[in-house]
């Protein structure tokens, strides 16, 4: 009911129900018939309808105007042969960000993933090779001073970030997950400060797993304009989100 993966306690209840012989055949048939009627009566929403509702919600919750100088910084994106490109374009438009440069060979879905050894963006330079080459071409063309690469995995729920900064000998920096996390947290703090009067709460809660960096704790401790709390919990989305929902 909360959109999360099942916790072990819930999973055990499901397993026990599946193994139970308490219900008679007639009771199981009646239960199935009821479930079928219930499902048939539920309103059906298209993916587009759900996307529009999502886009409207996140714009209301997160949007604040940002100054973005494309002469100083450009963005290259790779979908790694997944589904991210169409949705990311729409999000960039919703947040009034300039158009990014796609890694053309990897932007369309292809389940064979022909240009990468594995489609896992967190594995670094070997997977980001084509996106990094696209960024280097932009830098050589003198269209920008620096380039950031964003990479999504094929189902678009993971993100990797790399930056090519202008130097005598430009070098790549591929951000660790903890670095990306602290940047997200810093940005969210900025948004809450800008939109504070429009939000229901002036407190922020940072949550990360016990195997992650403690930088979030340091960031929360040094905030003075906003109340911030930091919580550590078990690794895994289902555990972290259970804590988040409880807040």
Task: HSE, CB side, 13 Å, CA atoms: give it for residue 136.
Answer: 10
Q: Do 83 and 155 meet the contact criterion of CB atoms below 8 Å apart?
A: yes
Q: What percent of the chain has pLDDT over 90?
A: 41
Using alpha carbons, list the distances in angstroms from residue 206 to 95, 232, 237: 24, 8, 14
pTM of the model: 0.79
| Span 110-133, average pLDDT | 94
Q: Given a cut of 80, is residue 144 above it in pLDDT? A: no
> Is residue 207 very low, low, confident or very high in pLDDT (cuts 50, 70, 90)?
very high
Q: Tokens standing for 140?
A: 């050589």
Does the pLDDT of residue 75 top 90, yes or no?
A: yes
- Do 150 and 75 contact (CB within 8 A), yes or no? yes
Q: Which residues, 6+ apart, have CB-to-CB distance to 55 below 8 Å? A: 90, 91, 94
User: Beta strands 101-102 and 73-78: pairing type?
Assistant: parallel
3-class DSSP state for residue 24?
coil
pLDDT tens, position by position, 4-17 = 788 888 888 888 88
Task: Copy the structure tokens of residue 152.
Answer: 């999504």
pLDDT (0 to 100) of residue 154? 96
**Cα–Cα distance for residue pair 154/83, rounded to 1 Å:** 6
pLDDT tens digits for range 12-37:
888 888 777 665 666 777 677 667 66
The secondary structure of 185-245 as a DSSP string is HHHHHHHHHHTGGGSS-SEEEEEEETTS-SHHHHHHHT-SSSEEEEEEE-SSHHHHHHHHH
160, pLDDT greater than 80: yes
- Strand positions, DSSP E, 39-134: 73-78, 101-102
Stretch 166-171: mean pLDDT? 75
Give the H or E element holding residue 43.
none
Poorest-pLDDT segment among 4-13, 18-27, 52-61, 226-235: 18-27
Q: What pLDDT does 55 receive?
A: 92
Q: Residue 62's pLDDT is what?
A: 79
Average confidence score pLDDT of the chain: 85
Give residue 89's pLDDT band: very low, low, confident or very high (50, 70, 90): very high
């Amino acid at each position: 009911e909360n959109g999360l993966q099942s916790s072990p306690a819930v999973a055990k209840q499901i397993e026990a129900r599946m193994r139970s012989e308490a219900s008679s055949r007639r009771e199981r048939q009646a239960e199935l018939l009821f479930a079928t009627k219930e499902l048939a009566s539920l309103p059906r929403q298209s993916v587009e309808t759900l996307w529009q509702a999502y886009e409207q919600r996140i714009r209301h919750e997160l949007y604040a105007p940002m100054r973005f100088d494309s002469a100083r910084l450009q963005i290259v994106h790779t979908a790694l042969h997944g589904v991210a490109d169409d949705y990311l374009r729409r999000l960039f438009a919703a947040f009034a960000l300039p158009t990014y440069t796609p890694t053309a060979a990897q932007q369309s879905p292809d389940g064979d993933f022909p240009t990468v050894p594995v489609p896992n963006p967190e594995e670094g330079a070997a997977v980001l090779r084509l996106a990094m080459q696209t960024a280097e071409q932009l830098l050589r063309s003198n269209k920008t001073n620096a380039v950031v690469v964003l990479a999504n995995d094929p189902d678009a729920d993971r993100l990797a970030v790399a930056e090519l900064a202008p130097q005598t000998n430009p070098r790549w920096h591929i951000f660790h997950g903890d670095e990306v996390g602290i940047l997200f947290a810093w940005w969210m703090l900025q948004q809450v400060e800008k939109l504070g009067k429009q939000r229901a709460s002036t407190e922020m809660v940072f949550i990360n797993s016990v195997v992650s960096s403690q930088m979030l704790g340091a960031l929360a401790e040094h905030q003075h304009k906003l109340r911030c709390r930091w919580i550590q919990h078990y690794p895994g989305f289902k555990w972290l989100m259970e804590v988040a929902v409880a807040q």
